[in-house]
Amino acid sequence: MTWVMNMKNKLNNLTNKEWLKFQKSWFIHNPPPRKKGVMIHPAKYPETMAQEFIEFFTKTGETVLDPMAGTGSTLVAALRAGRNSYGIELNPKYAKIARQIIEEERKTLGEKVDGLTSNVIHGDASLATTYQLPITDYILTSPPYWDMLRAKGSDTQKKRRTSAELDVHYSDDPNDMGNISDYEEFLEKLVGIYKGLKSLLREKAYLTIIVKNVKKGGKIYPLAWDIARELGKTYTLKDEKIWLQDNQPLAPFGMGSAWVSNTFHHYCLQFRNE
Q: Is residue 258 part of a domain?
A: no
Residue 274, in any domain of the structure: no
Confidence (pLDDT) at 158: 54
Domain membership of residue 149 as a residue range? 32-245
pTM: 0.87
Tell me, yes or no, whether 252 lies in a domain.
no
Whether residue 160 is contained in a domain is answered as yes
Q: What is the pLDDT of residue 202?
A: 98
Residue 255 falls inside a structural domain: no
Better pLDDT: 75 or 7: 75
What CA–CA distance (Å, rounded) separates 22 from 143?
A: 23
When comparing pLDDT for 203 and 44, which is higher? 203
pLDDT digits (tens, 9 = 90+) for 177-217: 777 889 999 999 999 999 999 999 999 999 999 999 998 88
Q: Which CATH number characterizes residue 131's domain?
A: 3.40.50.150
Q: Is the pLDDT of residue 42 over 60?
A: no
Rounded CA-CA distance 145/150 in Å is 10
Total domains in the chain come to 1
Cα–Cα distance, 251 to 30 (Å, whole number)? 18
Percent of the chain with pLDDT over 90: 72
State the pLDDT confidence band at 145, using cuts at 50, 70 and 90.
confident
SS3 223: helix
- Residue 267, in any domain of the structure: no
Tell me the percentage of the chain whose pLDDT exceeds 70: 83
* One-character DSSP codes across 231-252: HTTTSEEEEEEEEE---SPP--
Average pLDDT over residues 145-152: 64
Q: Which residue has the higher pLDDT, 90 or 158?
A: 90
76 is a domain residue:
yes
| The predicted structure's pLDDT at residue 177 | 75
More confident residue, 46 or 192: 192
